[in-house]
Amino acid sequence: MSVRSVLGGRTPAAISSLASPFTLRQSAPMASKFTRLHSTAIRPSQCAAPKVVFRHARVPQSSLNRPAIRTQSTSASGKDEAKLDWNSFFKLRASRRRYSLASSIGTCLVSTTIGVQLLSSQDLESLGAQVMGLDPFVVLGLATAACGAVGWLAGPVVGEGAWGLVYRRFKPSVATKEKEFFDRIRRFRVDPSTNSIANPVPDYYGEKINSVQGYRQWLKDQRAYNRKRRNFIA
């Protein structure tokens, strides 16, 4: 008996009833699997996206301006600083001494004048004579000399300050050259431990050097001192 003859006399409802057990048996396990997968799967809406918080560090405005300020200051100082040769250095050094001397004379006169006025108004000479037992004129003279000495000692400070204002462009270069100059003096000067009346130390601090020729003469004097010292010891 063929399948066509068996199914030929049956209705579509009977055919569907025959096929339904097979479909149910096959679809039931698959449906349970899909149900499990659907239940265990994580929905995208259920996934909480991680919150990333960006915190911007606050940088003070002053720190941002520092490199520019330093660059500008270094460039300005490099432009303002003038290069000096040794002859120009000695000329500026001599001018600074003249400023100090002139200011010492001026401050000495001013302090002496102020001191005399104070002494004459306060009658301190009689008090000093009573305390120390000296003549009032001697006390007045000593007090006046003390006032002048104070002004004389304060003069170089005032003079160097005025010189620095006038030659402020050359001040850094002069300081650099002066350090190098004193290093040379310290290196080539003689040992003063063997000083004697017959062989005195020639300008130990190099204060009399006012030019390049003066420095060369100073070196010759140092060598002559050492040569004389060796001959005297021998």
Could you give the CA distance from residue 148 to residue 110 in angstroms, rounded to a whole number?
8
For residue 99, pLDDT beyond 70? yes
Q: Which residue has the tokens 């995208």?
A: 44
DSSP 8-state code for residue 49 = P
Residue 70 domain-assigned (yes or no): no
The answer on 147 and 91 residing in a single domain is yes
For residue 140, pLDDT beyond 60? yes
Selection from 88, 106, 107, 104 nearest residue 167 by Cα: 88
∠169-175-178 over CA atoms, to 5°?
135
Q: Contact at 8 Å (CB) between 194 and 170?
A: no
Could you give the CA distance from residue 155 to residue 100 in angstroms, rounded to a whole number?
6
The answer on 199 and 149 residing in a single domain is no
DSSP 8-state code for residue 44 = T
What does the pLDDT look like over 49-91, one tens digit per residue?
445 444 544 545 544 344 333 444 444 444 455 678 899 999 9
Could you give the CA distance from residue 106 to residue 111 in angstroms, rounded to a whole number?
9
Residue 196 domain-assigned (yes or no): yes
Q: Contact at 8 Å (CB) between 113 and 168?
A: no
The answer on 132 and 83 residing in a single domain is yes
The answer on 150 and 102 residing in a single domain is yes
Residue 166 domain-assigned (yes or no): yes
The answer on 204 and 162 residing in a single domain is no
Residue 231 domain-assigned (yes or no): yes
Task: List the domain range (segments joined by +) for residue 194.
Answer: 189-234
Domains in the chain, number: 2
Q: What percent of the chain has pLDDT over 70?
A: 61
pLDDT reported for residue 81: 58
The tokens describing 34, both together, are 């899909």
